[in-house]
A and B are shown apart, each in its own frame.
Chain A
Amino acid sequence: MLKHLVGTKLHLLYLEGGERMSRHLMRSVFSFLTFALFAYLTFEVVKFTTSYLILEAKVGLFVFYRLMALAFFVFFAIISVANVLVAFATVFRNIEAEFLHTLPIKPVEIFLARFLDSFLYSSALMLILVLAAVSGYGAFFKDPVTAILGVLLSILPLILSAACLGAIVLLLALKLSKEISIKTAVVVLSLIYAGGTYMYIRFNNPFTLFTEVMKYYPHIDQYLGALDPKADYLVPSFWSANFFYFAATGNVAGAVLSALIVCGIAALLFVLMLRLAGKYYQEAYWIARHKLFERKAARSGEGFGVTAGKRARPVSLLKRDFLLFVREPSQTFHFAVMVILIGVFLFNLFEMKIYLPDTFIVSAAFTLIFAFNSFLIVAFAVRFVYPMISLEGESVWFLRSSPMKPERLFYSKLVPGVAVLSAIGIVLGYAAPSPFKNFRGLVPESVLYGLAGGIIFPSVAMVFGGAFVDYTEKNPVRVASSHGATVSLLISLGVMVILSSMVFSQSFKYFSVHTNFRFDTSVIWTLAGIGTASVVLARYFGGRALRMDL
């Protein structure tokens, strides 16, 4: 039965992929080009970074692979947290799961089929970029065999471990929610996650490690395992990076042992997930459904309110989207998490002091902060603005048959996204220069970039939200992790790189002269040009999606 169930799921994934290719040829060609370009850029960036760290900065192999371990840890944590949300949407709140639960199938088989479906659906495109990154690394060392083995024996098991951990956490949260409230369970588990991440980063501070390793100079390529915190041994990302270190230094036994440990952890987590699913999934499914119906039953006295006059239509559209947003727990929960992240980041920015003598490095540091700010806005845009047109859903017929121009509907979706993200962009822009000496003069420019990001990124998300519209998908998390959303993310990152290069150029001038800095007005015109182009494109693709044949 499991073979037939999983076989049907794979057949469907294949059919849907092929369908997409044949029905939307232009879209597919564009996606392919975007991925190819990004894969190439990733390849070059990784190759350059590896070369820079090892040959220019001469950090030594041990520090290089510990930086790799840190990057792998961040990658692992992000996938794991994302999978908690994705698994909830696909394993618990999904119409297919409901259908399968009415058939005489073992709950663990349903769980496995849905888990694999979501894993393959959201990991395939990420794997392409991982392959490109590892190829860049392999190209530097001129060792394609290690690169291929690294993907198979180190990174794939790491991704699987992260996805399994996310699903395990979700199962336990739902199981716990029978004893304590779901909110408390989520808070407890979030604190464990946040605490674990904080402790890991604290004990693996790259600056401290670099200082410690340099005490062994010139033997900085040798394995200095005594400097590793013992807790790192429990983290699969540590062993993933160790595989690459041992492979690069010709220690075959070490590489094999590391690969065995990474694969072992993945297998262990996979088996543990299945054991827990076998034990708790049916119960957890009932709990999740009970909570859903409980919320429905508790709702009373919710009113839409009445607005009259000229403003009735736009206000009603805005009010509708707002209510749909706040009443969808996956939206509000994710939004709250991201706002908290921004809060933590802002707090750190105001606390941070970066007083470096070198103009190049200080400008690079400011650009990095700007890039991170932009990344936060991009993440918001892809997660919340990209799905807005698709979420109009099958009810789009209602608005299409009403006496209203599709553009009005489009603006009712773009404007709130731009307003919220511009506000966030301005706040982040204001905070970005604060860690630097004599930062005041940089604030207007930084705020301007923040505002531009708040306009450009949601518009880009809307361009692709329109171009890849899918009125049949009702789940916002699934829309935001779709193929089109990934393309939107990659294009936004491309725009982010362009903006970052402008920021670097301006901040370099600022930090070079300190006084009498004159703001380059061509920046304003460039930002206005990119902003206008993105809004025009968003209007075109968004409007087209709202006019398309249903």
Chain B
Amino acid sequence: MLELVSLSKKFGSFTAVDDLSLKVDAGDVYGFLGPNGAGKTTTIKMVATLLKPTSGKVTINGFDAHQSPETAKKFLSYVPDQPFLYDKLTGKEFLLFVAKMYMMDESDAEKGIEEASSIFEVKPWLNKRIEDYSQGMRQRLVLAAALVHKPKLIVIDEPMVGLDPKGAETFKAHIRLVAENGSAVFMTTHQLSLAKEVCNRVGVIHNGRLVYEDLMAVFSGDGVASLEKKYIELTS
């Protein structure tokens, strides 16, 4: 579903991402880990077509994200770490706006909004202005917006920002369900326990290079501790 082929991004003499190749298949929840400044956000911004690679390519569902961005983005949902919301719109209006941008017809849009808002329990708030939402509620709305059009690929930068324990639990449960239904999830997080719980594959980026990639199952023995140990070993 998502393929990065020899992806590099240079800013002057600084190489933020260096010859990165990876694949995320349908049904995968891929945990993209790395310390601050490792190149995670730059990679994600290239996937979301907000930055153009210096070399290499990004394909989403077989479409080159920088040659045919509009086509590729039809299959994508992107949730940044600091999402943008129109404060003066209601939650419902915002979700409807997103649905329209994905060219959904009225009935599909209504259905998608109904389902997504039920999952993240924002339905009671849908007719209120977003400016009245708490931080956690805003994050729930953004996650709901990411699901409205049933994307084939969801890219999430730090999904747990502002979520309360219940919201976090809902997210974890649902993100696995989304993958089971055939979508792919590419997610960055600093919470290794979250990665351990929801991801089936993991990659570690350090100084712009992918230094490790494997199935999460290899850490099944002693749980988070072994993943943490490996992570520290790779990034120190």
Contacts and interface: CB of A to CB of B under 8 A. Distances in A.
Interface size class for chain B?
20 to 34
A328 interface: no
A324 interface: no
B144 interface: no
A179 to B, nearest CB: 16
B105 to A, nearest CB: 12
Contacts of A289: 45, 50-51
Contacts of A105: 70, 101
Nearest to A18: B88
B84 A96 contact: yes
A294 interface: yes
Contacts of B12: 294, 297-298
Interface in B135-183: none
A102 B11 contact: no
Interface in B12-39: 12, 14, 16
Given A12-B86, A293-B11, A102 B97 contact: no
A290 B50 contact: no
B71 interface: yes
A180 to B, nearest CB: 16
B46 to A, nearest CB: 10
Contact of B101 (A15, A95, A104, A472): A104
A286 B52 contact: yes
Given A1-B100, A96-B84, A297-B12, A102 B76 contact: yes
A103 B51 contact: no
A458 to B, nearest CB: 31
B103 to A, nearest CB: 6
A101 B88 contact: no
Interface string A92-106: 000110111111111
B11 A294 contact: yes
A61 interface: no
A267 B149 CA distance: 37
Query: In the complex, which of the residues B12, B14, B97, B101 has the most CB atoms of chain A within 10 Å of its own CB atom?
Result: B101
A1 B74 CA distance: 13
A293 B102 contact: no
B122 interface: no
Interface residues of A, number: 31
Interface string A106-148: 1100000000000000000000000000000000000000000
A282 B83 CA distance: 21
Contacts of B50: 98, 101-102, 289
A290 B101 contact: no
B78 interface: yes
A284 to B, nearest CB: 11
A232 interface: no
A440 interface: no
Contacts of B223: none
B188 to A, nearest CB: 15
B206 interface: no
Contacts of A4: 97, 100-101
B92 to A, nearest CB: 13
A189 interface: no
A298 B98 CA distance: 36
Contacts of A16: 88
Given A12-B86, A98-B50, A286-B51, A103 B102 contact: yes
Contacts of A19: 88
B5 interface: no
A371 interface: no
B206 to A, nearest CB: 17
A1 B103 contact: yes
A95 B11 CA distance: 21
A104 B73 contact: yes
Nearest to B69: A282
A379 interface: no
A5 interface: yes
Contact of A98 (B84, B86, B101): B84
A99 B85 CA distance: 9
Contacts of A99: 83-84
A293 B73 contact: no
B71 A103 contact: no
A254 B186 CA distance: 64
A473 to B, nearest CB: 12
A102 B49 contact: yes
B42 interface: yes
A283 B51 CA distance: 10
B75 to A, nearest CB: 9
B73 A102 contact: yes
Contacts of B86: 8, 12, 96
A290 B9 CA distance: 9
Contact of A104 (B42, B74, B97): B74
Given A8-B97, A96-B84, A298-B11, A290 B52 contact: yes
Nearest to A4: B100
B73 A298 contact: no
Contacts of B45: 289
B42 A293 contact: yes
Interface string B72-111: 0110101010011011110001000110111100000000
Nearest to A104: B73
B88 A15 contact: yes
B187 interface: no
A296 interface: yes
Nearest to A298: B12
A208 B49 CA distance: 56
B93 to A, nearest CB: 8
A102 B78 contact: yes
Closest 8 interchain pairs by CB? A297-B11, A99-B84, A104-B73, A286-B52, A294-B11, A297-B14, A4-B100, A102-B78
Given A294-B12, A297-B12, 9 more contacts: A4-B100, A12-B89, A96-B86, A98-B50, A101-B48, A102-B48, A102-B49, A102-B73, A297-B16
10 contacts: A1-B103, A100-B101, A101-B48, A104-B74, A104-B101, A282-B69, A286-B52, A293-B51, A297-B12, A298-B11
